[in-house]
């Protein structure tokens, strides 16, 4: 025989409206009633107090009233709000009412702001797999993070269970899903572990899909994260975000895009670095043997300015649509500025860019480090007005960066650095095919652009830029 469960709350006009129906049904079959806010509502009924919401949480109640039909222990149907036809179909009872046949329900208390995470911690505590760390009563939580060597040198947000649960609300991916093994120690990295480090970095839940995709990109073999960690070179992972998500989460692609002040930019990049540190064991003085490093090893993350650009975005160049969101990881050095406030013709400005690109890493270094050229809107306008496509600029830069071997060989210009003398009669390109990427970002005022050179072992010799689609959750 069927039995029924009903979840209500007195603070719901629809629940109060259907009290006569509840009275009718409770006299016909077994009806277990849970009240979220008043154990005496409805009056004259046997009501179970669910003010702690344990039963509502376990029943996945999002709207009250909700009535559920069971055959033994198995749920065989449910309906929510008040819909006379649906209630009659579910119960098989012709319901006598003198009020409208339809009224929407109210939000369950389980979906109040902040409540899902609190209930998950309270009733699904075992869902989280991470080891719990007990701190002493007088221990400062922020100092505890420093003491346990979790920090990149800056204060962390303590990753409490509630904060981690809240962070996980930003994705519908299984928290136990294994994303991969993080070098150098190749620790197993799950969605949950990424969420823990995203909390410590200061991320918001809606940033989590970007962080997860960044970790996925870092773990692809062609990015060579282990080599990037172990090198004595300057570089670290740079994250470039394209697509609608960059705007939805408020990333900065405009003024000061490569600087401080934007939470999404700062914390997404930091979260990736913390995953590498805390899951993979990649710490300075250990496997990380960089002679100098660069400030971007705290966080190096920004968005491409795709709005009103005359050029296709990097993601579109890589074969994605403008409706898709992506992350691109690049093994990047710090930024090198280019100042050209006089060029009003595209060839003149291209020559300035080429002169700056020529000295990336070293004027004699060729076919090694890749680079990103970040063109500001004011410089882009020079090419826009002349009708130059991005590919035209790339082609012209390629021509300008064909360098005579006599300038590149060891000893040329009185510089011992250089390629073997046997290449003196050759003409060599600065960058490998596809090694120079051009993107648009920065403030609207200022005839400046930027070069971000890459790891000396980038390109085919080591790390190549990796672009992955961001899987945006319907919850995020």
Alpha-helix residue ranges (DSSP H) falling in 169-207: 191-201
- Cα–Cα dist 183/224, whole Å: 9
pLDDT for the residue numbered 476: 42
pLDDT for the residue numbered 475: 46
- Cα–Cα dist 59/45, whole Å: 21
pLDDT for the residue numbered 209: 98
At 451, list the tokens.
């070069």
Residue ranges and CATH numbers for the domains of the chain are 2-112 (3.40.30.10), 143-469 (no CATH)
pLDDT digits (tens, 9 = 90+) for 224-248: 999 999 999 999 999 999 999 999 9
pLDDT digits (tens, 9 = 90+) for 395-426: 999 999 999 999 999 999 999 999 999 999 99
Q: CA separation (Å) from 173 to 177, 245, 267, 476?
A: 7, 17, 20, 11
**pTM of the prediction?**
0.88
List CB contacts of 272: < 8 A, sequence separation 6 or more: 211, 214, 215, 218, 237, 239, 301
At 284, list the tokens.
């300075």
Q: Residues 36, 37, 43, 44: what is their CA dihedral angle, to the nearest 10 degrees?
A: 50
Mean pLDDT by 10 residues, the chain (476 residues): 93 97 93 96 94 96 98 95 97 94 97 92 84 86 94 96 94 95 96 98 98 98 94 95 98 96 98 97 92 95 95 96 97 95 97 97 93 97 97 98 97 96 96 95 96 85 91 62
At 374, list the tokens.
């970040």
- Cα–Cα dist 64/55, whole Å: 13
pLDDT for the residue numbered 461: 65
- Cα–Cα dist 176/128, whole Å: 9
pLDDT for the residue numbered 113: 92
pLDDT for the residue numbered 473: 67
Beta strands 448-454 and 402-404, pairing class: unpaired
- Cα–Cα dist 270/245, whole Å: 18
């Amino acid at each position: 025989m069927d039995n029924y469960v009903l979840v209500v709350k007195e603070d719901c006009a629809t629940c109060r409206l259907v009290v006569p129906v509840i009275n009718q049904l409770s006299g016909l079959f077994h009806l277990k009633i849970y009240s979220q806010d008043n154990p005496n509502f409805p009056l004259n009924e046997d009501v179970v107090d669910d003010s702690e919401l344990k039963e509502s949480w376990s029943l996945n109640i999002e709207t009250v009233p909700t009535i559920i039909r069971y055959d033994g222990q198995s749920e065989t149907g449910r309906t929510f709000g008040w819909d006379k036809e649906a209630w009659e179909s579910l119960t098989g009872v012709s319901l006598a009412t003198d009020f409208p046949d339809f009224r929407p329900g109210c939000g369950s208390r389980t979906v109040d702001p902040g409540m899902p995470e609190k209930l998950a911690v309270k009733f699904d505590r075992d869902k989280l797999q991470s080891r719990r760390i007990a701190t002493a009563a007088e221990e400062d939580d922020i100092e505890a993070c420093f003491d346990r060597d979790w920090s990149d040198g800056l204060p962390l947000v303590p990753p409490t269970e509630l904060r981690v649960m809240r962070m996980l609300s930003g994705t519908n991916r299984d928290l136990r899903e294994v994303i991969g093994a993080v070098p150098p120690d190749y620790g197993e990295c799950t969605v949950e572990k990424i969420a823990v480090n995203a909390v410590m970095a200061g991320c918001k839940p809606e940033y989590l899909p970007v962080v997860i995709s960044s970790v996925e990109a870092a773990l692809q073999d062609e990015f060579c994260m282990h080599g990037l960690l172990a090198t004595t070179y300057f570089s670290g992972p740079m994250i470039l975000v394209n697509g609608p998500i960059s705007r939805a989460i408020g990333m900065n692609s405009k003024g000061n895009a490569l600087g401080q002040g934007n939470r999404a930019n700062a914390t997404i990049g930091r979260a990736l670095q913390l995953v590498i540190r805390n899951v993979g064991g990649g710490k300075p003085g250990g496997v990380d043997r960089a002679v100098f490093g660069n400030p971007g090893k705290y966080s190096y993350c920004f968005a491409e300015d795709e709005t009103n650009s005359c050029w296709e975005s990097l993601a579109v160049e890589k074969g994605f649509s403008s409706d898709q969101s992506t992350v691109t990881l690049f093994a990047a050095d710090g930024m090198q500025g280019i100042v050209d406030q006089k060029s009003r013709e595209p060839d003149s400005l291209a020559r300035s860019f080429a002169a700056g690109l020529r000295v990336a890493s070293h004027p004699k270094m060729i076919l090694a480090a890749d680079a990103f050229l970040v063109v500001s809107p004011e410089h882009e306008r020079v090419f826009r007005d002349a009708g130059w496509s991005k590919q035209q600029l790339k082609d012209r830069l390629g021509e300008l960066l064909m360098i005579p071997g006599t300038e590149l060989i060891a000893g040329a210009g009185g510089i011992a650095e250089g390629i073997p003398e046997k290449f003196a009669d050759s003409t060599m390109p600065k960058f490998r095919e596809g090694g120079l990427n051009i993107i648009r970002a920065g403030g609207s005022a200022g005839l400046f652009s930027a070069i971000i050179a890459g790891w000396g072992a980038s390109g085919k010799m080591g790390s190549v830029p990796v672009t992955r689609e961001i899987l945006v959750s319907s919850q995020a």
